[in-house]
Chains A and B, each alone.
Chain A
Amino acid sequence: MKDPLIDKQLPLFIPHSSISTAVNKTGSWRFFHPKYEEKTAPCSAACPVGQDVPRIEMLASRGQLKDAWQTILNENPFPAICGRVCFHPCESVCNRAGMDDPIAIHHLERFLGDAAIAGEFTADIDRRPSTGKKVAIAGAGPAGLAAAYFLTRLGYGCDVFEAAAEPGGLLRWGIPAYRLPRDILAQEIQRIENAGVRIHCESSVTEALLESLKKEYDGLFIGSGYGRSRMMNIEGEEFASDGLEFLNRLGVGQKISYFGTTAIVGGGNAAIDVARSLVRLGAAPLIVYRRRIQDMPAFEPEVAMAAREGVRIMELATPIRIRETAGDSSSATPGYELTLHKMKVHKKESSGRARVIPDGEATETINIQNIFVAIGADAEALWQCPDSEETNSLVLSHCRFFDQKIPLIYGGDLTSPIKSVTDAIASGKQAAMALDTYFEHGAEAIEKRLAGCRVGAGPVLSMDVYLEKDRKNRTAHTVSYDEIVTDYFQPAARSVPSTLDAGQGMRSFSEIVSTLDNAAAKDEAARCFNCGICAACDYCRLYCPEMAVTVEKAQRTINMDFCKGCGVCATECPRNAMALEEEIK
């Protein structure tokens, strides 16, 4: 039986008011004010092409794969290629390493590049209306193609002249298929052609053609790369094969077979590529390098992979003579006798690399079946190099600009500080910006305009900034780990794609590393701190004690009538996308 008295209401006397506190303009208390201030992520500043990595990962983590991919395209036309071959300096500066492991930025870039190919994404990249001007480009390598891509976006007509039968340059003839499958290369280049770039293959640029190009075009970009291998200048050099030429023959699909101990002289990426290709063709490669293994200019993961596949490395040895011999006793094929001078460390360079000198008279002679040379390369013809005597030129970080009858820019390996695919793309982008600035404002405006497009404090340039997109508002301050509010992030393992084991990999030119799957890529992208950019987490609004933060159409604003300058928002921002400034009244 219910007693109605139980729930009879008692008088309740508590402080209660429905009058708004908005009359109390707490903004008058303020002597600091917060502001939204996006900063530079260390990965972006370290990326030769300045990709907006924190934004790319943010979009990828939300499953907005096309948007993420387009964000790459803003700065780099080759995500699927760079995701595979770039030496990813971004990852070595990733703030996430302070918590567990760096974000797998290159695996994610590759994932997005491959997703775009598989999903047949078409890019809706901003393009300026045509300027009516035309630019000729010598060399369809990464630098030339990038220059053409960015110039096309800026409204220029581009013709690319390439000596080989197919475009790609070093991407095609220098990088083996187990690192960069040919269909990926073809599809990324096709996208550039689809954007309107005309590529003329088997059109070798000669000095004569160059002169006529100067008449027909408004500007000229030369990115012909290093086509001619350096020589050792030793006795018996004629018995040595050219490593680059060998890679080129493989690249165009020639079937070649090797056996027995095969020496490769050199310590760069080409030497590693030659050695690993030889493993696949049946030989037992032996790299001969004059300095120590840790001094090799080849990227360290490549050296490690080579070692896993059985490539041997002889350090501190330099060839002095090659002679023909009767060859391996077990075979009828004649071989060679390679005589090496033993080297020793003389002193260290400032970079930590060893300088070496001959170790007395000590020599060593080894029997080999074949020998390849991959000790570097130079430009094939003199005109391909910028004239070092010419004073009327501008030296940019990745290019050299000559203000001649028509503007002439050298780029790619000829002028890049680091000989890498991504630096070559950076030089193409820099050239495009420099030419565009030249046409709009003259040569004297170039340096200042480019300096205003930097990502972070270094030489890295952003096309988004050049085109005055939102990215322009980021400060050059590079976010450090200490500036991340790590309470908002949980430790999580880095996603690693599957790889062929060394045994499987050695039997074919199939790609060794696979692409991340959808779920792994999403998880990996979600690990990103998104350093320095607003990820719309909304903590600023949620923590504001005065409810002074409002969000309208995804834009956050602070109502200064009520912001009392407590700084909670800026302090709680997990990724340092806010700042607190003293107010002088």
Chain B
Amino acid sequence: MKKVIEGSHAVSEAARLARVQVIAAYPITPQTHIVEALSQYCADGTLNARFINVESEHSAMAAVIGAASGGARAFTASSSHGLAYMHELLHWASAARLPIVMAEVNRALGPGWNIWTDQTDSLAQRDTGWIQLYCEDGQEALDTTLQAFRLAEAVNLPVMVVLDAFYLSHTFEPVDVPDQEMVDRFLPPPAPRIRMDTADPCAVNQLVTPAAYMEMRYNTQLAMEEAQRRLVQIEKEFETIFNRTHGLVEAVHCEDAEIIMLTTGTVTGTCRQVLADLRSQGEKVGLFKLKLFRPLPVDLICRHLKSTPKIAVIDRNISFGAGGIFAQEIRAALCNQEPHPKVFGYVAGLGGRDITPDTLVEIYNHTKNHSAPAEETIWIGLNQETVETWSN
């Protein structure tokens, strides 16, 4: 049934429909609405789950690790500093191969203290072994969360469902909230492969010597690679039940494009409009939405981008001293293709600054007017007056 709900609640509805069994979370803006709704569901009996209040995000992740180790379907949510505080245990969750699902609402890290959207928080956790899926709107957030449980349990890896702060988490949109019966058909009860049981005591995750550690890591890498294939199959099954799909990536008008704008998250929605406008003006522009970031779908990136002369990657994040993180990843993915496109890396919209259609048109024009990027990273929308005061 279609309901007008905010992005946060699209996620909490999905967690409820997924019949999660344990939730542990610590509040942080802009994530709080997700777990707030779930705590209400636990309190009023709508959801038969154990809600564990904790004193920190580190403990929240520890609690869901414990729950998942016992075989429970576990969920948490966080943002920014909260996610950073979980860092140690993010590695732990993936190396222990626990199918935990987390909603991560992108928020800038301080200082300067800032609650608005910025992808640096989730991208800083790139190498923790979590599957990462970036969502564009409320419907995708709901659907992806449902798929995330299925995917996590299929490959025994944790999944991070990523949403932009406010533009998605706090924006009300019509969202089709499916019936429980349909969700149950898609997502069976968990059949955990790791399930510690006091009746059958065992030790897990103890000391591993150099003689076995590398194989353990290789095993995880294989699972990550498998995750991409499984997600394709899961999406297919999702489509047969719910009659909609989102794709691991989405390529719009890429076949004949001379410039492809590469986006993640809610900027994709803005870019769709810009694409329509520019196309109507006869510009040969395409849009490539990257949803699955870990594992990185190198084959899909190459298939859709390799024949296009220029790629404009829009990064709402910054790896200091290197540049936008998506741009680096795209460059790396394409570098062995011959020939390969020029990749323009644009950093825009940090700390919640708006990325408007005009911003995207500026990026398009800049790409069109330069045969090759003059610098590795092009900052869009900087207040030049402020910057110039520094040179005095």
Binding site for B on A (CB under 8 A): 1-3, 5-7, 9-21
Give chain A residues whose Cβ lies under 8 Å from the Cβ of B212. 15
Q: By the criterion CB–CB under 8 Å, are B150 and A6 in contact?
A: yes
A20 vs B205: C-alpha distance in the bound complex, in angstroms? Answer: 14
Can you list 6 pairs linking A and B with CB atoms under 8 Å apart? A3-B237, A5-B233, A9-B193, A14-B96, A15-B208, A15-B212
* Residue in A3, A10, A17 with the greatest tally of chain B CB atoms within 10 Å: A10
Q: Which of A5, A11, A12, A21 contacts B203 (CB 8 A)?
A: A21
A12 vs B191: C-alpha distance in the bound complex, in angstroms? Answer: 15
A21 vs B206: C-alpha distance in the bound complex, in angstroms? Answer: 11
A13 vs B207: C-alpha distance in the bound complex, in angstroms? Answer: 14
Q: By the criterion CB–CB under 8 Å, are A6 and B234 in contact?
A: yes
Q: By the criterion CB–CB under 8 Å, are A10 and B155 in contact?
A: yes
Q: Which of A3, A5, A12, A18 contacts B97 (CB 8 A)?
A: A12
Cβ of B342 to closest chain A Cβ, rounded Å:
38
Q: By the criterion CB–CB under 8 Å, are B237 and A10 in contact?
A: no
Q: By the criterion CB–CB under 8 Å, are B233 and A14 in contact?
A: no
Q: Which 4 A-B pairs have the closest CB atoms?
A: A13-B219, A17-B203, A18-B202, A6-B233
- With contacts A17-B202, A17-B203 taken as known, whether A7 is within 8 angstroms of B154 at the C-beta atoms is yes
B215 CB–A CB distance under 8 Å: yes
Give chain A residues whose Cβ lies under 8 Å from the Cβ of B208. 15
Binding site for A on B (CB under 8 A): 95-97, 150, 154-156, 191, 193-194, 200-208, 212, 215-216, 219, 222-223, 226, 230, 233-234, 236-237, 240
- With contacts A6-B234, A10-B223 taken as known, whether A15 is within 8 angstroms of B204 at the C-beta atoms is yes
A1 vs B222: C-alpha distance in the bound complex, in angstroms? Answer: 26
Chain B: CB-nearest residue to A5? B233
Q: How many A-B residue pairs have CB under 8 A?
A: 62
Give chain B residues whose Cβ lies under 8 Å from the Cβ of A18. 200-203
Cβ of A367 to closest chain B Cβ, rounded Å:
71
Give chain B residues whose Cβ lies under 8 Å from the Cβ of A5. 233
Q: By the criterion CB–CB under 8 Å, are B203 and A10 in contact?
A: no
Q: By the criterion CB–CB under 8 Å, are A12 and B219 in contact?
A: yes
Q: By the criterion CB–CB under 8 Å, are A17 and B236 in contact?
A: no
Give chain A residues whose Cβ lies under 8 Å from the Cβ of B156. 10, 12
Give chain B residues whose Cβ lies under 8 Å from the Cβ of A16. 202-204
Known: A5-B233, A6-B230, A18-B202. 5 other contacts (CB 8 A): A6-B154, A14-B97, A15-B203, A15-B207, A18-B203
- With contacts A1-B237, A16-B204 taken as known, whether A11 is within 8 angstroms of B216 at the C-beta atoms is no
Cβ of A538 to closest chain B Cβ, rounded Å:
16
Give chain B residues whose Cβ lies under 8 Å from the Cβ of A6. 150, 154, 230, 233-234, 237
Q: Which of A3, A13, A19 contacts B236 (CB 8 A)?
A: A3
Give chain A residues whose Cβ lies under 8 Å from the Cβ of B206. 15, 17
Give chain B residues whose Cβ lies under 8 Å from the Cβ of A9. 193
Cβ of B230 to closest chain A Cβ, rounded Å:
6
Q: By the criterion CB–CB under 8 Å, are B194 and A14 in contact?
A: yes
Q: By the criterion CB–CB under 8 Å, are A12 and B201 in contact?
A: no
Give chain B residues whose Cβ lies under 8 Å from the Cβ of A10. 154-156, 222-223, 226
A1 vs B96: C-alpha distance in the bound complex, in angstroms? Answer: 32
Q: Which of A3, A14, A17, A19 contacts B216 (CB 8 A)?
A: A14
Chain A: CB-nearest residue to B207? A15
* Residue in A3, A18, A21 with the greatest tally of chain B CB atoms within 10 Å: A3
A18 vs B203: C-alpha distance in the bound complex, in angstroms? Answer: 6
A17 vs B212: C-alpha distance in the bound complex, in angstroms? Answer: 14
A13 vs B156: C-alpha distance in the bound complex, in angstroms? Answer: 11
Q: By the criterion CB–CB under 8 Å, are A14 and B222 in contact?
A: no
Q: By the criterion CB–CB under 8 Å, are A14 and B204 in contact?
A: yes
Chain B: CB-nearest residue to A18? B202
A20 vs B202: C-alpha distance in the bound complex, in angstroms? Answer: 7
- With contacts A10-B226, A14-B97 taken as known, whether A2 is within 8 angstroms of B237 at the C-beta atoms is yes
A46 vs B320: C-alpha distance in the bound complex, in angstroms? Answer: 67
Q: By the criterion CB–CB under 8 Å, are B201 and A15 in contact?
A: no
A7 vs B149: C-alpha distance in the bound complex, in angstroms? Answer: 12
Cβ of B185 to closest chain A Cβ, rounded Å:
9
A20 vs B222: C-alpha distance in the bound complex, in angstroms? Answer: 31
Give chain A residues whose Cβ lies under 8 Å from the Cβ of B233. 3, 5-6
A9 vs B223: C-alpha distance in the bound complex, in angstroms? Answer: 10
Chain B: CB-nearest residue to A1? B240
Cβ of B140 to closest chain A Cβ, rounded Å:
20
Chain B: CB-nearest residue to A20? B201
Cβ of A9 to closest chain B Cβ, rounded Å:
7
A512 vs B97: C-alpha distance in the bound complex, in angstroms? Answer: 68
Give chain A residues whose Cβ lies under 8 Å from the Cβ of B200. 18
A14 vs B193: C-alpha distance in the bound complex, in angstroms? Answer: 11
Give chain B residues whose Cβ lies under 8 Å from the Cβ of A14. 95-97, 194, 204-205, 216
* Residue in A6, A12, A19 with the greatest tally of chain B CB atoms within 10 Å: A6
Chain A: CB-nearest residue to B200? A18
A9 vs B154: C-alpha distance in the bound complex, in angstroms? Answer: 7
